[in-house]
């Protein structure tokens, strides 16, 4: 196993603020490695750890334990500035979903890592489960265009299902529609789901606030009317 800067990483873990909650990669040797993210590269896991990275052969990994939150939402990234902007705008237009919302979901789901894989085996930029991806016609779940298109399609369906209630749509995206239904069409009381909704909404609101002056100036040529913007949630306060 090749490890970079682990001594520095141990120092940082001891003194860093508790903003991140790590997952644990459990090796067959019994060693447990705290990671803030990981992806599969060939026959190895590329582990992201505080202070460095490590490449571990897949056969050496016994299991992956929670937590499911990888990294905090990065600084607000405008659609025009982030690397998948064209794909996001295309999906936004196709499914009538606000491009800023898609960007915010990607930031919370994968931090813009197209190879991200979660403990639940959700994959890619919008963290699609393989079954969901197959249902939506995805051939390559790690392809940014296919992943963003399918994820936006699913998000659009959820917004329609919950009558444009953003909190419920995000709760269903994170925890599943069955759990939203189980709790009486309310946000499930799961810390991870509540935290997820807050992170997406915070980033989304920041994006809308930062883009408001430009949209006001360009009101005469704006095409925002063709995009559905979610309503404030009536189901819960976040």
Q: Which residues form the catalytic set?
A: 109
Distance CA 47, CA 38 (A): 4
Q: Report phi then psi at 84, rounded to 5.
A: -110, 25
DSSP state of 228: B
* Contact assessment for residue 230 and residue 169, using Cβ atoms and an 8 Å cutoff: yes
The SS3 call for residue 32 is strand
Whose tokens are 């582990």? That residue is 47
130 in Cβ contact with 121 (< 8 Å):
yes
* 3-class secondary-structure state, position 165: strand
Beta bridge pairs of residue 55: 2, 46
């Amino acid at each position: 196993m090749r490890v970079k800067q682990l001594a520095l990483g141990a120092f940082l873990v001891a003194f860093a603020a508790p903003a991140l909650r790590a997952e644990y990669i459990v090796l067959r040797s019994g060693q447990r490695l705290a990671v803030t993210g990981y992806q599969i590269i060939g026959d190895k896991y590329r582990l992201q750890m505080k202070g460095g990275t490590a490449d571990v052969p897949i056969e050496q990994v016994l299991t992956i334990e929670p937590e499911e939150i990888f990294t905090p939402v990065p600084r607000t990234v405008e659609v025009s500035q982030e690397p998948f902007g064209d794909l996001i705008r295309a999906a936004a237009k196709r499914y009538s979903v606000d491009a800023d919302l898609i960007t915010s979901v990607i930031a919370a789901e994968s931090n813009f890592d197209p190879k991200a894989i979660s403990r639940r085996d959700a994959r890619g930029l919008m963290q699609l489960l393989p079954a969901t991806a197959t249902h939506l016609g995805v051939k390559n779940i790690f392809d940014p265009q296919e992943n963003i298109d399918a994820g936006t399609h699913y998000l659009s369906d959820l917004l329609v299902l919950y009558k444009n209630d953003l909190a419920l749509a995000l709760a269903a995206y994170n925890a599943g529609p069955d759990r939203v239904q189980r709790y009486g069409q309310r946000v499930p009381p799961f810390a991870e789901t509540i935290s997820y909704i807050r992170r997406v909404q915070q980033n989304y609101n920041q994006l809308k606030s930062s883009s408001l002056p430009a949209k006001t100036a360009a009101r005469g040529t704006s095409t925002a009317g063709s995009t559905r913007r979610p309503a404030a949630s009536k189901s819960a306060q976040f």
